[in-house]
């Protein structure tokens, strides 16, 4: 079921820097288990930070300039990926999550706040490590519970 939901949410990978179309999440994609693996609680400590190509997309009301993306950076000899919500402004109840494929068991998980206690974050999520993940995808939720998915892309 996880693989089916993951596959169903794939969006064509766009060139670096391009904005990709978001898809409405299938019902099963809204309930992935919360797990961040061996995570980086403060991705801002990473170096060489950049956007993972093909993961940036506008969300909710495009005129407000709100968008999600997956970022990556290196820290302590590993690369980490995390989802980020940019320009949430007046939409303080909007949240972001990172869907990621756990390499050891092939499962799809959702990483959220940096404490590991929630599957959602207000600004950016914890970072998942390169040795544990093979695919990443940003996920967005409005304050009223509507979920949108960004592009799922191979990673590291």
What are the φ and ψ backbone dihedral angles of 134, each rounded to 5 degrees?
A: -120, -5
pLDDT confidence of residue 143: 85
| Helix/strand/coil for 44 | helix
pLDDT of residue 90: 66
CB hemisphere CA count around 106 (13 angstroms): 5
What phi, psi does 121 have (nearest 5°)? -135, 155
pLDDT of residue 10: 35
Hey, which residues does 139 pair with through a beta bridge? 97, 149
Residues of the chain with pLDDT under 50: 1-20, 27-28
CA torsion sign, 120 to 121 to 124 to 125?
Answer: negative
What string of DSSP letters covers 70-88?
A: EEEEEETTEEEEEEEEE--
At residue 85, the pLDDT reads 94
């Amino acid at each position: 079921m996880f693989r089916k939901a993951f596959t169903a949410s794939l969006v064509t990978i766009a060139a670096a820097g391009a904005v990709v179309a978001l898809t409405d999440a299938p019902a099963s994609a809204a309930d992935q288990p919360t797990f961040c693996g061996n995570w980086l609680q403060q991705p801002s400590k990473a170096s060489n930070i950049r956007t993972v190509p093909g993961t940036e997309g506008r969300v909710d009301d495009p005129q407000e300039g709100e968008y999600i993306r997956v970022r990556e950076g290196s820290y302590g000899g590993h690369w980490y990926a995390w989802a980020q919500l940019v320009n949430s402004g007046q939409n303080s109840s909007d949240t972001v999550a990172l869907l990621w494929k756990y390499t050891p068991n092939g499962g799809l998980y959702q990483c959220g706040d940096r404490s590991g206690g929630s599957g959602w974050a207000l600004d950016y999520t914890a970072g998942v490590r390169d040795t544990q993940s093979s695919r990443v995808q940003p996920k967005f939720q409005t304050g009223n519970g509507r979920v949108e998915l960004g592009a799922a892309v191979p990673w590291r």
